[in-house]
Structure 1
Amino acid sequence: MKIDRIEAIPLAIPYRRPFGFASGRVTAADHVLVRITTDDGLVGHGEAPPRPYTYGETAASIIAAVSDLFAPVLVGADPFARERIRADLDRTVANNAAKGAVDVALWDLVGQACGQPVHVLLGHAADDVRAAHMIGLGTPKEMVADAVEMRDEHGVDAFKIKVGRELGVDMAAVRALRAELGDGVELYADANRGWDADTAIVASRRLHEFGVSMLEEPNPAADVLGRRRIVTASPIPVVGDESTITLGGVARSLLDGDSEAISVKVARTGFTDSAKIVGLCEGLGVTTVVGNQIDGMLGTVASVALGCGLRALARHPVEVTNYLLMTDDVLAEPPVIADGRLAARQEPGLGVTIDPDKLAHYRVD
């Protein structure tokens, strides 16, 4: 089996409402669908969500990387030779979302060829995961309404709260969420690098008072000494995310004392490097959680597969609800959150089918 063709298809799907965070704001899913076809007719898919304010990638740059740089390497290659392909793609620096989508599509192909779901190939630690919901910036009333909707309609009881604005505004939102949701709900916070170190230290102590369990990316990681001061002073663990986007970056962050836990995202490290990062952290006794890049349905299915595949991830809530922000998608069978959990698909590969009519409607090339 050899790769015959690779496509990068830009999509534009409206959101039900904008999603805001300290480093950006999105109003539509301008994602790229990566589709790899083999010479025997198998088709693998991956989703690349561009985040220029975090990784510098746009839909146009992802398409160019896949079509101009990666296709000459991929066409004619064996999909099972993922380590060789990884080494070839790494000759191009960065382009994390583009590489992640390619890797996901390759695992989709391998699973189909083997007749096994991706989560089984990864290790089959679980059949479903507990869902966590990511609450975007807004007024306290808006943020509480978002959380209550997810709790009441989907049974979700774990929430990541976007913070990183003026401290009083953020703490008012956290206070309102804890008051409404009660002590039985897990809350953790993500500042998306929005605070300076001194503000983050004060914030960490206040968050601890509200029973918030973790603080993700409190300040710009380039402020190395400031980040270390936060880690030393914070009563809750500091989680690396945007500052720990590669295997080497994770190692440096942990050894330098910049992070105490790591958020892993399939959208930027695929299955291959995500598993390597989780293994590194597991050996060091460091917690890993599955994060969300405001993924669509395909990215959500991939995140669930990763969470169900690896034991270190399966024990924590997985951020898998934000596809609900989108008014539609191109998958024929949407993910289903039931009683606060989302199950891995049991079909070979990722178990997804692209609806051709929806693809034709939402593609913008």
Structure 2
Amino acid sequence: MARVHENRWQGRPFAAACLRSFVFVAPIAIAATTSLLTARAVNGASGIGSLALRWFVVIAASLLALVVTERVVRRLLPMAVLLRLSLAFPGARPSRLRVARAAANLRELEERLRIARTTGFELDEDAGQSAETILSLVAAVEAHERSTRGHAERVRVYTDLLADQLKLYPDDRDRLRWAALLHDVGKLEVPLSVLNKAGPLDPRELEIVRRHPEDGAKLTRPMHAWLGEWTAAITEHHERWDGRGYPRGTAGPEISLGARVVAVADVYETMTAARPYHRPKTHAEARKELVRCSGTQFDPAIVGAFLQIPERHLQLVRGRVARLAQAPVLRELDRFVGAVGSVISAALVAGGMLAVSIAGVTLHR
């Protein structure tokens, strides 16, 4: 008899949190240690010129350690993304380590995506292998795009909470989880300059962005037979109840159930998550906005089901950082901490530590 979980990943949120903490702390800790060791090694210098040279050497060494360490440990971020996931697979479950290694190899992923484009987006004939490849792409995007990091996974969890309210069957929930996770995979076709643009999009850029649901459907085509009716959530999650959405302008109950569910989860996540370009809304503010858009943008029945989800469950998904980010002062701190993954911001943090360590050694003399 086959084991119950042989085709399923169980989420490991604690392990994921520990790994992300390590990725955050390791570069700063190693940079600080390097600064102390280097300062001791060049401790014999005297005079203003020699002291300035000593400071330069210590700071240069510590920043070099910071850059190298950051680039090395950053390769662990895809694994942190994958550890949070709870998913069923079309075939045998793949190794998380294998998927994470593929996600960390951006050049190989870009080549596979290039081949997919030239062959009509057919990544693999086998649904299981295709799921593994697509998951690598999702993990890579989630790990390397800081401005929306964690978006797809949070949408998946909100979708699952909604599915629980709607009493969907387990097999349907398994497939809807995948559709929610992959709802924005078509954005791999959108240039980063467009995705990260601070101002409003021009008509050409808007047209590119609005193609992402159909591009996502093409990219996930090998999984469509397994996903069944839930595939439409990828294509239709930007359709509106009043028919003013895209890409096809489908309206009302003609929009698939999966798309109606993912649409609410997607917008709630966008409203309540910290973003460089807007303050995250509180749960009460987001709830009010969902009610306002019920019957125009969203299916009223789905909004009603979402409002029945206990707030504490939604808060667990959002996390403490998102709640802290709602405070004006702490919002800036949250952005700064989130940017430590980039070399420049991390250098600022380490630079302050280095100044203290060097001053301490100087006073010791």
TM-score relative to the length of structure 2: 0.26
Structure with greater proportional strand content: 1
**Which has the greater radius of gyration?**
2
